[in-house]
Amino acid sequence: MAVIEESVFIARPPQEVFDYLIRSENVPVWDSSVIRSEQIGDGPVGVGTRSEGTSKIMGRHFDWVTENTYFDPPNRTVIQSVDGKFDFTIAYSLEPQDHGTRLTYRVDAPSGLGGVFGKLADPFVQKAHTRTVRANLETLADLLAEHPDGG
């Protein structure tokens, strides 16, 4: 199983960060590995909400569908893949810290992050993707500090 866990301080209150994170269309703005992401259907986000999108990791594209399996605003949300080339779960945990938010991002991939590349690629892909996750979180923190509405 591959696990990547990184955290970042964001100079915005937890509710604002949470509200930005749960909007599928925002993911490609701050996550460089996501090319497209959109909510399936209308309505408020909560347990059972599904999103679909396309990611690019190590030059390979893959489509996915996720579902919110845990939803506790503004503290934690968990999404799990329900369709795609490999299984993954992403958890966002938010805690108030120094007039802002400590966001912890965790991705679990039971079959390994090598997925479409094969098991031998797991360590290489995990190391590369860990760097990407760190950079993405810094982008998110900068974006929300400069533009609280995410724009």
**Torsional class of 150: left (φ above 0), alpha (ψ -120 to 50), beta (otherwise):** left
- Overall CATH class of domain 2-146: alpha beta
**In the chain, domain spans:** 2-146
Rounded to the nearest 10°, the torsion over CA 122, 125, 129, 130 is 60
Query: pLDDT tens for residues 54-106?
Result: 998 777 889 999 999 999 999 999 999 999 987 899 999 999 999 999 999 99
User: Which region among 75-79, 101-105, 135-139, 143-147 has the lowest average model confidence (pLDDT)?
Assistant: 143-147
**How far, rounded to the nearest angstrom, does the alpha carbon of residue 20 sit from its chain's CA centroid?**
12
For the residues 133-151, what does the mean pLDDT come to?
A: 86
According to the model, what pLDDT value does residue 150 have?
61
Whether pTM exceeds 0.85: yes
Is residue 144 a contact partner of residue 10, using CB atoms and an 8 Å limit? yes
Phi/psi of residue 87, each to 5°? -85, 140
pLDDT digits over 33-56, tens only?
999 999 999 999 999 999 999 998
What span, in angstroms and rounded, lies between the C-alpha atoms of 120 and 107?
A: 19
